[in-house]
A and B are shown apart, each in its own frame.
Chain A
Amino acid sequence: MRRVVAIANGKGGVGKTTLAAGLAGQVAATGQRVLIIDTDPQGNMGRDLGYGPQDGSSLGLAITHGLPLDVIRDVRVGLDVIPGGPALWDVAPAFTSRGARGASLPGLRPALDKLQPAGTTAGYDLVLIDTPPGEPILQELVFAAADYLIIPTRSDDASLDGLVVVAQRFAAARAMNPDLTLLGVALFGVRAGSTRLISRVRSALEETLGGAAPVFDTSIRYLESAAVDMRSRGLLPYELAELHRGDKTRRIKQLRKGVKVDGENSLLSRDSSATGLAGDYAGFAAEVLAAISVQESRARVEVAV
């Protein structure tokens, strides 16, 4: 079955790109074949995954002209990427122009259906699509091609506004894609150990969602130092934790030799916090895959009935 998951919120800065990259890397690390698509003209995914800036023209031309997608293969083992970039600014004007003369855009779905991982005829186990918050047409094009939606949100009231915006776009997109399902809401960027705050925000979110979807049990903690370490080095959370383990061994060796260890290139984050963050993503990835399995089981039952 198709597993195309959009990551979206109507508000910027709620952790969409970081969450998408971390989730994709975590699932790929378990041996599954994952494709991540960055539909953001800012193309920040390159920093998270360390593949550098791209112009996003392949994705833009696939959406506007139906051309085949160029895939960056194996940015990690089992993880392919279709990068975003400034060329995606052209999609909304192209849509408006063609709509004005009664024509339509191919959109994302036809190009997605043709994609396969290298060396296999089977499709990807998981396709994640990161979306820009301020581009409603791009976001709705993604919703038209996706099966599931995950909404990351922070704990502030302003994030609720983004939730309202994305709910409206979600409902509008279901006119074209009735199978689109809200998989859940992910609480992103909360301080580790803030159990009362997390509990209160989760209750508020559940009330707002009205039972339409769950709030994921795993929340992703906020660690500025780890975020800086990861983006400056193009590392994923589990890779940062591995780097810390290696770094600790190196530091101990240097200390034994009497060499100063705190250089300019040393990591800003702490070993325990990086390990905790990696644990958050591992738990979140497991929850997402379980939620997809539940939805697929439900769909199979409905087909059987």
Chain B
Amino acid sequence: MTSNARPNLGGLFNGSTPPQQPSRIGDPASPRLVTSVPISETPLPPRGSASPGPTRPSAAKSGSAASGSATSGPARSVPPQSKSDPGGRQQAQPEVHWADPVGLVNQYFGLLRTLLDLNQQWAVACATAVAALPRRVGLHR
């Protein structure tokens, strides 16, 4: 440990510097982990029969989605089966992304943090200049 260029980790340990990444275990219900809204809320027009979509798990047909699929949990709704789709097949539906309110809030506070950092740097520069004034005018060596 002889290098001259050492990071100053004091801010990370005393809370004055935010981490580069948020906690992996914090805010487990954050929408960042759920990439699309439930499909049942965004019905799309059916495509032509020439290009059928991927097969949905048959567990959805029986109404017990949680027991049949490891990726489906209680928070997700299962799309209703249409009468024209008796085999339980669904058309391919692209993921639809809503505006993420948590992401927007994070962006907003990130902007605030940046502004505050700039403000701090400017204030520190001013304070440093003021502190150096006596030396400049020759009051101190």
Which positions in A face B, CB cutoff 8 Å?
95, 97-105, 107, 136-137, 140-141, 144, 155-157, 159-160, 163-164, 167-176, 178, 182, 200-201, 204-205, 207-213
- Say yes or no: B15 contacts A201, CB within 8 Å: no
Contact A100 B33 (CB under 8 A): yes
Interface residues on B, range: 20 to 34
**Distance in Å from the Cβ of A301 to the closest Cβ of chain B?**
18
B10 with A212: CB separation less than 8 A = yes
Residues of B within 8 A of A (CB): 1-3, 6-15, 17-26, 28-29, 33-34, 70-76
B20, A157: Cβ atoms closer than 8 Å: no
Q: Is the CB of A101 within 8 A of B25?
A: no
Q: Which applies to chain B's interface (DSSP): helix, strand, loop or mixed?
A: loop
Q: A168-B12, A172-B19, A204-B2 are in contact. Are A99 and B28 (CB under 8 A)?
A: yes
A178 contact set on B, CB distance < 8 A: 15
Report whether A102 and B9 are in contact in the complex, using a CB–CB cutoff of 8 Å: no
- Out of B13, B70, B73, which one reaches A182, CB within 8 Å? B13
Contact B2 A174 (CB under 8 A): no
A176 to B28, CA, bound (A): 11
Q: Which residues of A contact B70 (CB under 8 A)?
A: 97
User: A27 to nearest B CB, angstroms?
Assistant: 24
Q: Known contacts A159-B1, A212-B13; is A104 also within 8 Å of B8 by CB?
A: no
Listed from nearest, the 5 A-B pairs whose CB atoms lie closest are A210-B10, A101-B73, A212-B13, A104-B28, A171-B19
Residues of A near B75 (CB, < 8 A) are 101-103
Contact of A212 among B2, B9, B25, B74 (CB under 8 A): B9
Contact of B17 with A171 in the complex, beta carbons under 8 Å: yes
Q: Which of A102, A136, A160 contacts B24 (CB 8 A)?
A: A136
CB pair B73–A102 under 8 Å, yes or no, is yes
Contact A171 B1 (CB under 8 A): no
Say whether A209 contacts B21, CB under 8 Å.
no
Which of A102, A155, A176 touches B23 (beta carbons < 8 Å)? A176
Chain A contact residues: over half helix, strand or loop, or mixed?
helix
Q: CA–CA, A205 to B74, complex, Å? A: 49
Is there contact, CB below 8 Å, between B6 and A204?
yes
Which of these, B9, B22, B25, contacts A95 with CB under 8 Å?
Answer: B25
Complex interface: chain B residues within 8 A of A211 (CB): 10
CA distance A175 to B19 in the complex (A): 10
Of the candidates B20, B25, B76, the one whose C-beta lies within 8 Å of that of A176 is B25
Contact B13 A205, beta carbon cutoff 8 Å:
no
Q: Are B23 and A172 in contact (CB under 8 A)?
A: yes
27 A-B contact pairs sorted by A residue (CB < 8 Å): A97-B70, A98-B73, A99-B28, A100-B33, A101-B34, A101-B71, A102-B28, A102-B75, A104-B29, A105-B25, A105-B28, A140-B23, A157-B3, A167-B9, A171-B12, A171-B13, A171-B17, A171-B18, A172-B26, A173-B26, A178-B15, A200-B2, A201-B1, A208-B6, A208-B8, A209-B13, A212-B12
CB-defined contacts of A103 to chain B, threshold 8 Å: 28-29, 73, 75
Does the CB pair A168–B19 fall under 8 Å? yes
* Nearest B residue to A181, CB-CB: B13
